[in-house]
Amino acid sequence: MRPATWFFVGALLLLVARIAKGASVQFKPGVDLALRPEMARALPDIEQAHLDVGITRGAYITSGKDGVHGPDSLHALGLAVDMRTHDLEQSVIDALAAQLKLRLNDAMSLNRPYQIIIEPNASAPNASSHIHVEYQPYPGYRG
């Protein structure tokens, strides 16, 4: 099998195990989940962070390796995912970002190795469009 296939299989196995335990992670149709192991390992914690802050629908992943992203984006390398937030209040989004940092980096004040970024909504500057999570243990990391 090609390496990308192994990454996909790893991510899929983690998700199946998590779903079997009652998690409710969802994916936008067409999301490319050919993620690197570093990112695939984060998916159960991403799901749990949503549940921790009371988002009963769980995580809704809107982008993996797919989509249009900037030239330095880690999406194309399978090291980033985006999560839907447009249906959430800003206070919940802020709490989710803090919980993601706690679960993925072991402290709310740390933003490494996983960076959690609340992305702005271009059409509504005071609202977020999604939360971006990427594995980047140091600046310039490209896998």
CA dihedral in degrees (119, 32, 10, 23; nearest 10)?
Answer: 60
Q: Tell me: the pLDDT tens digits for 16-62?
A: 444 444 556 888 999 988 999 999 999 999 999 999 999 999 999 99
Domain that holds residue 124: 3-135
Q: How many domains does the chain have?
A: 1
Q: Which of 8-17, 48-57, 113-122, 123-132 has the lowest mean pLDDT?
A: 8-17
Residue at 101 is within a domain: yes
Q: What is the CATH number of the domain that holds 78?
A: 3.30.1380
User: Bridge-partner residues for 27, per DSSP?
Assistant: 61
* Res. 128: pLDDT tops 70: no
Residue at 143 is within a domain: no
Residue at 117 is within a domain: yes
Place of tokens 């549940």: 51
Does the pTM surpass 0.85? The reply is: no
CB contact burial 85-123 (16+ within 10 A = b; e otherwise): beebeeeebebbbebbbbbbbeeeeebeebbbeeeeeee
Residue at 142 is within a domain: no
Residue at 140 is within a domain: no
Report pLDDT for 20.
43
